[in-house]
Structure 1
Amino acid sequence: MSQLTDTISRRTLLRAGGAALLTPALAAPALSQGQADVIRIGHLTPRTGFLGPLGEYAVQAAQLAVEEINAAGGINGRKVELLTEDSVNPQTASAKAERMVQRDKVACLIGEINSASALAISQVAQREKTLFINTGANSDALRGSDCKRFMFHVESQNTMMVRAAGRALLDKGLIKDKKIYTLTADYAFGHDLLKQAKKFFAANGGTITGEDLIPTELTDFSPFLLKIRQARPDAVICNLAGAQITNFLKQYSEFGLPFPVAGFGFDLALAWGAGQGNFLGTWPVVWHHMVDSPSAQKFVAAFKAKYKRPPENQGWSDYTSTKIVAQAMNATKSTDSMKIVEYLESGAKFDIHKTREGYFRPWDHELMQEMYAITALPQEKVKNQYDIFTSTGPLPGPGESLEVLATTKEENACTFPA
């Protein structure tokens, strides 16, 4: 990922009745009157670059969650304010996280999508002993070698994504004894996803016969599509991220290649952005807007009413994380991060807008939850721009432990720093 300078940014301060655009971030903060009566939450996520389309959903959903929390009486009777910033890159994410904690006195940090930026934020959170809920970074290392006591993960880890999609691909006969060509985003998330994908292929009889690393800024996939045409694989597996996936799908359709497409990392906004007829293949998602549970559909209806479109899975993650924080603070009657950490480690259950409640594993802080594999509908069956896929039922299934898709301690050891 290119190293971007940390230019003057804007901060959006959300209150119960709306949003106020503040002065540039280098100026003194304009915080509310009566600060002791307000709980501030810091929200960091990419708003620009190849992950920007996902960040927009994340911010909108977190805003909605705060409005709902405040409408229900706030947290322990105190109103919530959401401070949002564009994290841009790891260096900027670290600086803004530190500023939010030290200057703006946020009670916790929520957000992020880029795994390297999430690591940078987690280091600040650990040093400052401030809760950080990761809403979008998938790297297994964040739950293993880089785990932190003050970091929790509502987003699924890469292994869970691979195993969820892998079940569907095995059912379709696209792994065992097949030649596979992989395209992988050339940064921490992609490298980690490819590592987990290779483990899955090796365990299930698939063979990688071609692989390429794709720069995050790349927009023209034609050289790689020509290589795929020549290689004639049985399946093309994408370990791409953000706008890379949208661009790839558009160009794959234009080239008219006949090889089945699938992926191990995905967000619905990327399918919607590809345009009519360009979404192809089978992909994993942590959530989608057609999940059949009352709380999921209540969230979908509220998001649609406010933003005139359904939420996608990154929006679900930031919305759900904000609600989890509110539940934890209400339950402990505290904003003290250590007390919240202990509550989250206690096995507390949360309505995560799926058919089963979720809980955090105490030893790696990963949210145990259902996932889904979606497959693109044939174009003749598409009725609108959003309902463009069919979905498996929840994975794991109703009779399985929620932990069967996740790594074990032996696979991904976590030792929290002191």
Structure 2
Amino acid sequence: MQKLIAAVAASFAIAATCGAAQAQISDNVVKLGVLTDMSSLYADATGKGSLAAVEMAVADYGGKVAGVPIQIVSADHQNKPDVGVNIARNWYDNEKVDAVLDVPTSSVALPISALTREKNKININSGGGSSDITGTACSPNTVHWTYDTYALSNVAGKAMVKRGEDTWFFITADYAFGMALQRDAANVVKESGGKVLGEVRHPLNSSDFSSFLLQAQASKAKVVALANAGGDTTNALKQAAEFGLTQGGQKMIALLMEITDVHSLGIKATQGLIITDAFYWDTNDETRAFSKRFNEKVGHMPTMIQAGLYSATMHYLKAIEAIKTDEAPKVMEQMRKTPINDFFARNGKIRIDGRMVHDMYLFEVKKPEESKGEWDLYKLIATVPGDEAFRPLDKGGCPLVK
């Protein structure tokens, strides 16, 4: 009888322990929300490819973490801050989403980061670019994974001024991302000994860049810098070719351009273009293996945003597995103290301001005769270590930095 009582007591103790461990995962599910641009100018760089990257990561992880299932929801924020915030608020309040991922368009990304802090959830941003996300608007609940305006500007700006291309004119998207990109690039140009001769701003998702390009042409600047992205960048480059800017001796630089943009425009139209990127599919065996799988699923090679999302999702799930809870502050602490070593980043690290620091790359688009295939588009000019590419921790104005 004593043995029976002891056995029953032990079984109850084990059950209680298991129940307590299980209870650490809220609602017995880990729910991810992919909030992205499914239908507009950033859809190729993010969109369905971003969702596919997260789905691949969850499938590769086995569909469960810490013994509970992983679920994914997705939505199109239409590049509108109010739409994005309403979706995320509903996800957090009613659908019990634990983490919101991607969020391209900085005017949407910044309020989503603030909302995530208010709700004490987690935001892993891959698509938004403003360096303010880890600067004055930093949050203990947000990780900025893939790139930002400071790194894009710093890597390309220094290199170009150094080789004599020292007068710049900016064509800038008139919203948070474009203005941050121009600001960061202009600072790099000036600090490197160059000059900014002028600027012009255009509405988001513009179709006609003729007046902006004529002003850039009239400035006689050696570099015409496009502080925009996606469809805005490709439209501007197409029309720049029609106006003969490069034939007239000016150098075009796209401060943010994805491999899907280059592929869409064609290598003949983009040859010689200088691009800063966080990822290229043909870097090594690991990047090629992931990209081949992604291409088979989506129909194109991954952008840096999409590759970064796979990496970020895996890191998030591993953190939950390690500590057996999805409680946001504990997961963030685990993510920060764990280095990132995968096909996307070597010895990556998440700083207290939320910036994931990793190597960045400077590429030049190949000439048609140099390319050996449809996606053989870039040649590497330089690999810039993360600590040199991204803004120093004490220079961003993040209140979390002591």
Tell me whether the two structures share a fold, i.e. TM-score over 0.5.
yes
What letter matches 2:187 in structure 1?
Answer: K
> What is the CA-CA distance between 1:353 and the residue it aligns to?
1.7
What letter matches 1:105 in structure 2?
Answer: K
What letter matches 2:274 in structure 1?
Answer: T
Unaligned runs of at least 5 residues, structure 1: 1-34, 397-401
1:406 pairs, out of 361, 379, 390, with: 390
In structure 2, the residue matched to 1:26 is none
> Which structure 2 residues correspond to residues 318-397 of structure 1 after superposition, within 5 A?
318-346=309-337, 348-354=338-344, 356-362=346-352, 364-396=353-385
Measured in 2, the distance between the counterparts of 1:149 and 1:82 equals 23
Measured in 2, the distance between the counterparts of 1:239 and 1:352 equals 30
1:288 aligns with 2:272: no
- Residues 136-156 of structure 1 deviation map (CA, whole Å, 9 limit, x = unaligned): 212121111111111111022
What letter matches 1:59 in structure 2?
Answer: L
Change beyond 3 A, Cα 1:375–1:260: same
* SS, match of residue 404 in structure 1: helix
What letter matches 2:76 in structure 1?
Answer: D
> What is the CA-CA distance between 1:171 and the residue it aligns to?
5.0
Change beyond 3 A, Cα 1:351–1:409: closer
What letter matches 1:165 in structure 2?
Answer: A
1:274 aligns with 2:262: no
> What is the CA-CA distance between 1:416 and the residue it aligns to?
4.0
- Residues 353-394 of structure 1 deviation map (CA, whole Å, 9 limit, x = unaligned): 2462211012x1100101111111123323333222212342
What letter matches 1:65 in structure 2?
Answer: A
Measured in 2, the distance between the counterparts of 1:142 and 1:355 equals 20
1:141 aligns with 2:141: no
Measured in 1, the distance between the counterparts of 2:96 and 2:64 equals 18
Answer 1 or 2: which has greater helix percent. Answer: 2
Measured in 1, the distance between the counterparts of 2:190 and 2:35 equals 37
1:247 pairs, out of 235, 238, 245, with: 235
Change beyond 3 A, Cα 1:276–1:158: closer
Change beyond 3 A, Cα 1:75–1:295: farther
> Which structure 2 residues correspond to residues 11-410 of structure 1 after superposition, within 5 A?
36-56=27-47, 57-70=49-62, 74-88=64-78, 89-175=80-166, 179-257=167-245, 258=247, 259-280=250-271, 281-292=273-284, 294-346=285-337, 348-354=338-344, 356-362=346-352, 364-396=353-385, 402-410=386-394
What letter matches 1:290 in structure 2?
Answer: D
Change beyond 3 A, Cα 1:67–1:285: same
Alignment RMSD (CA, Å): 2.0
What letter matches 1:198 in structure 2?
Answer: A
Unaligned runs of at least 5 residues, structure 2: 1-25
Measured in 2, the distance between the counterparts of 1:288 and 1:168 equals 19
Structure 1 contact 225–252 (Cα < 8 Å) conserved: yes
Percentage of pairs with the same residue: 23
Q: Give the aligned length.
A: 370
